Chain A
Amino acid sequence: MSTQTPALRLEGIVKTFPGVRALDGVSFSVMPGEVHALMGENGAGKSTLMKVLGGIYQPDEGQIFIAEDATVMSSPLQAKSKGVVFIHQELSLADELSVAENIYLGELPRKSLGRVDWEKLYAQTDDILKTLNVGFNARTKVGDLSIANQQMVEIARALTVEPRAVIFDEPTASLTDAEKVVLFEVIADLQSRDVGVIYISHRMEEIFKITDRISVLRDGQYRGTLNTKETNEEEVTQLMIGRKLDLSRNEMTHSLGPVALEVRNLSCGKLFENVSFTVREGEVVGFYGLVGAGRTEIAETIFGLREPSGGEILLDGEGVTVHSPADAIARGISLVPEDRKGQGLVLGMNCRDNMTLPQVDDMTAGPFVSDGAEIAIFDQYRDKLDIRTPGWRQMVGNLSGGNQQKIVIGKWLSMHPKVLIVDEPTRGIDVGSKSEIHNLIRELAAQGYAVIVISSEMPEVLHVSDRIVAMYAGKVTREFTAAEVTEDGLIQAISGL
């Protein structure tokens, strides 16, 4: 293999954004017929690297070689014409158009007078679809397909050219097991045609099943390449996070108060069914499960954002009906939502106004909002949470992810809730801020808050929780105490085993 020319080689790629060095001299190569995994934590620079490869971003430094020819990728179209094809994680399809039109988007075959050559289009598409062995045809409207089939359309797109390298970005995130099998067949087929495949995924079992080599990125830097056969999960993880995976449990104990929140047989349509659990004052309950297991939806229902189809919510032992977030807030429930920018913050507003938003009605002097009271709150939580900002007038859109998250947490702490729900508290946040937020969560519990932490990261759940509720497909599968939980048990519980 080493004597071959790489299908694709990157050398010293640097890409900076204002304030961030997203890629810092990344080099690696993919051989023809090789499946090469690219791994790294969120924010390690994988997406940026792939966008550079796909011609969406231009690198500041470094070069891309295709079959050892130095190449400039100026646009996605140009990348494709050079044989580098990108299968997006977020589907980029026009759902009102047919499968064939999507596959040949931007290069529909023409007849005279600018007419589309439909026969040719459908014939070519059917040829490609045949190799993928899918259950839909060229004329189907993309909007009518399942997510998995839409993904197949994306893959079919890659096959319209003779590809040299195909990049898959988290392709199995929304696929069923049967669909995964088809996908892996497609990848094997590409391999047999001497195409280099770059495979980005978080799922270790897949990586070890189908890849030949694994390259790891951390903090925008290249950290090395391992031969899949000669390594193991632990080594890869260590390379990814720069240290041994910290699977330490929460060992802090303090006396727990009475039950603050109890949920009995709560259901919301098919999103989740018959969910029951309790949270006591001073306790952190972790909710662990895969994306789509229904964890966020439970939080949203408790917070009055969804209407439950059955079951009860009890606060301090008393049954309550929560019709709206305003209702929930009045009853002492706070929710730090999953999507910081979409749900947590008004990015065009300053730090102070964001922080005091839920209680702006109560911050008045006469009919007007009291500047002094607002600034007092902001100052208090800026100091308490160590929020680094030039001042309250700063637009939150200009802060780093960690500081933004602290603004959201500050916003809800300043409401002095009884029950605090935190959904994915450290998503997209740097390592330093992560542990700060973990410590903060433990501190809050020690002060008597009842805290629910929803997370997809096992170390995080293990680290902060007194108890862990595992969910699978809308149902609670098992509950663990911090003392009894094991990694394997947890993984089994969230896989429905």
Chain B
Amino acid sequence: MANFKRKDLVKQGAIWAFIVAELIFFSIAGEFLSVSEKAFMDFDNMLLLLKQSAPIGIIAVGMTIIMVNGNIDLSVGATFALAAIVLLDSMTWPFMQAMGNWAIPLAWLFALATGVILGAINGLIVWKTGVDAFIVTLGSMLGYRGLVFIYNGEQPTSHLNWTLVDFAEAQFLGLHTATWFLLGVVLLCWLLMTRTVHGRNAYAIGNNREAAVNAGIRVGPHFLWNFMLIGFLAALSAVVFYSESGSVNPNDGMLYELWAITAVVLGGTKLSGGYGSIISTLGGVIAIQLLRKGLGHIGADTETVNLVIGLILIAVLFLDRQLNRKGKEELRT
């Protein structure tokens, strides 16, 4: 039994050990290779890293919940883009402009509502038709992206509101606004998944769906709520990011679903559902961002980041499999 527990500890600690290894590696390698004068572990650099982790991080938290629940959502990137467009475009509507800065919270509300509605559409389809979430969200990934393009063609949608930019660039207790949002989302979702009935039921459904159904847990509404939640978080991620940048391209957010899933898997969440932790996902997000910055720091082409992350993802999968092997007696199938 002690053996099992050690394995759990290894699983949950692995991502943080990996982050420490990255920090050490890039700090030392940076001494020899770095083009910049600054040390890698520079405090400001780390703060910036957290801020840059926010957009993917917020989505990845939602993805963790979806995957723990036994589903997957490939449409988050498109939801992100559509929410961003609603955010920026709505502020240019005449009645909104008449409201002055009061338009800001309203625009946020519109954007977040967009995310929730798109998520609800996914959730309802998964619930009511019984089609696998992979296929449903694969479809809506195309569909939602289509809506993005229909909205404004291939033109970027821009609207810079300086009040908003000031807010987004503000630092409170040294941390950027985006970082606060990320940490807030992580904390709330961690509480949701570990402390509430909804969260525990989500684990049960992903872990053993038949048992959950037999115990009277209503699977459908849980799916729906979780899809609405990830839609909300994708929109929140857009709100945080575009408040500052003020301009959205119709291709923005493409491949975000893949980045988010990569972070979640790096964090140790099981693909089949029922196991995973929000905190470890945060670790996964940070690890990816660290890799991105670290490779830049030691002067590697930024292009190699994709290569390295892809290979690390596969390596993690391989190690996980080796850890879970039963040894030589196993059936050769």
Interface residues of B in 229-280 (CB under 8 A from A): 274-275
Asked if B275 contacts A108 (CB within 8 A), the reply is no
From A343, which residue of chain B is reached at the shortest CB distance? B333
Bound Cα distance A113, B196 (Å): 8
A209 at the B interface (CB under 8 A): no
Chain B residues closer than 8 Å to A320, beta-carbon distance: none
Select one of A94, A116, A306, A309 contacting B274, CB under 8 A. Answer: A94
Select one of A80, A92, A144, A271 contacting B211, CB under 8 A. Answer: A92
Closest CB in chain B relative to A52 CB, distance in Å: 14
Asked if B200 contacts A97 (CB within 8 A), the reply is yes
**Per-residue contact bits, chain A 73-92, to B (CB 8 Å; 1 contact, 0 not):** 00111001000000000001
Select one of A92, A101, A307 contacting B214, CB under 8 A. Answer: A92
**Per-residue contact bits, chain A 4-16, to B (CB 8 Å; 1 contact, 0 not):** 0000000000000
**In the complex where A110-B197, A114-B198, A115-B195 touch, is A144 in contact with B216 (Cβ < 8 A)?**
no
Asked if A93 contacts B211 (CB within 8 A), the reply is yes
A96 at the B interface (CB under 8 A): yes
Chain B residues closer than 8 Å to A389, beta-carbon distance: none
Asked if A77 contacts B196 (CB within 8 A), the reply is no
Asked if A105 contacts B331 (CB within 8 A), the reply is no
Chain B residues closer than 8 Å to A110, beta-carbon distance: 197
**In the complex where A94-B208, A95-B208 touch, is A116 in contact with B328 (Cβ < 8 A)?**
no
From B198, which residue of chain A is reached at the shortest CB distance? A114
Select one of B1, B5, B203 contacting A97, CB under 8 A. Answer: B203
Select one of A92, A107, A115, A304 contacting B210, CB under 8 A. Answer: A92
Q: List 26 A-B contacts (CB under 8 A).
A: A56-B214, A76-B214, A77-B215, A77-B216, A94-B203, A94-B212, A94-B274, A97-B204, A101-B200, A106-B215, A106-B216, A108-B197, A108-B201, A114-B196, A114-B197, A114-B198, A115-B196, A115-B197, A116-B195, A144-B4, A270-B329, A271-B329, A304-B332, A306-B330, A306-B332, A307-B332
Bound Cα distance A115, B200 (Å): 10
Asked if A143 contacts B329 (CB within 8 A), the reply is no
Additional pairs, 15, CB under 8 Å, beyond known A94-B274, A105-B215: A76-B216, A92-B214, A96-B207, A96-B274, A96-B275, A106-B215, A106-B216, A114-B196, A114-B198, A269-B327, A304-B332, A306-B329, A306-B332, A307-B332, A309-B329
Q: Kindly list the 6 A-B residue pairs having the minimum CB-CB distance in the complex, ordered from nearest.
A: A77-B216, A106-B215, A269-B329, A94-B207, A92-B211, A105-B215
Bound Cα distance A144, B330 (Å): 20
**In the complex where A116-B195, A305-B332, A324-B332 touch, is A106 in contact with B207 (Cβ < 8 A)?**
no
The chain B residues found within 8 Å of chain A, CB to CB, are 1, 4-5, 8, 195-198, 200-201, 203-204, 207-208, 210-212, 214-217, 274-275, 327-333
Chain B residues closer than 8 Å to A128, beta-carbon distance: none
Asked if B212 contacts A300 (CB within 8 A), the reply is no
Chain A residues closer than 8 Å to B201, beta-carbon distance: 106, 108
Chain B residues closer than 8 Å to A270, beta-carbon distance: 329
Chain A residues closer than 8 Å to B215, beta-carbon distance: 76-77, 105-107
Bound Cα distance A56, B210 (Å): 11
Chain B residues closer than 8 Å to A269, beta-carbon distance: 327-329
Bound Cα distance A94, B217 (Å): 13
Asked if B204 contacts A94 (CB within 8 A), the reply is yes
Closest CB in chain B relative to A222 CB, distance in Å: 26
Chain B residues closer than 8 Å to A80, beta-carbon distance: 216
Number of interface residues of A (CB under 8 A): 35
From A92, which residue of chain B is reached at the shortest CB distance? B211
Residue from B4, B196, B329, B333 having most chain A Cβ neighbours under 10 A: B329
Bound Cα distance A96, B1 (Å): 14
Closest CB in chain A relative to B219 CB, distance in Å: 11
Bound Cα distance A309, B197 (Å): 48
Bound Cα distance A434, B184 (Å): 65
Closest CB in chain B relative to A393 CB, distance in Å: 29
Chain A residues closer than 8 Å to B197, beta-carbon distance: 108, 110, 114-116
Chain A residues closer than 8 Å to B210, beta-carbon distance: 92
Asked if A94 contacts B329 (CB within 8 A), the reply is no
Bound Cα distance A56, B207 (Å): 20
A268 at the B interface (CB under 8 A): yes
Interface residues of A in 185-210 (CB under 8 A from B): none
Select one of B5, B204, B214 contacting A144, CB under 8 A. Answer: B5
Chain B residues closer than 8 Å to A108, beta-carbon distance: 197, 200-201
From A91, which residue of chain B is reached at the shortest CB distance? B211
Asked if A105 contacts B207 (CB within 8 A), the reply is no
**In the complex where A106-B217, A108-B200 touch, is A300 in contact with B274 (Cβ < 8 A)?**
no
Asked if B274 contacts A144 (CB within 8 A), the reply is no
Chain A residues closer than 8 Å to B8, beta-carbon distance: 141
Bound Cα distance A269, B201 (Å): 39
**In the complex where A271-B329, A305-B332 touch, is A107 in contact with B216 (Cβ < 8 A)?**
yes
Asked if A300 contacts B214 (CB within 8 A), the reply is no
Asked if B333 contacts A305 (CB within 8 A), the reply is yes
Closest CB in chain A relative to B167 CB, distance in Å: 28
Bound Cα distance A76, B215 (Å): 7
Chain B residues closer than 8 Å to A144, beta-carbon distance: 1, 4-5
Chain A residues closer than 8 Å to B332, beta-carbon distance: 304-307, 324
Chain B residues closer than 8 Å to A75, beta-carbon distance: 216
**Per-residue contact bits, chain A 109-121, to B (CB 8 Å; 1 contact, 0 not):** 0100111100000
Select one of B5, B195, B211, B327 contacting A94, CB under 8 A. Answer: B211
Bound Cα distance A49, B211 (Å): 19
**Per-residue contact bits, chain A 305-346, to B (CB 8 Å; 1 contact, 0 not):** 111010000000000000010000000000000000000000
Bound Cα distance A268, B331 (Å): 11
Bound Cα distance A115, B193 (Å): 10
Chain B residues closer than 8 Å to A106, beta-carbon distance: 201, 204, 212, 215-217
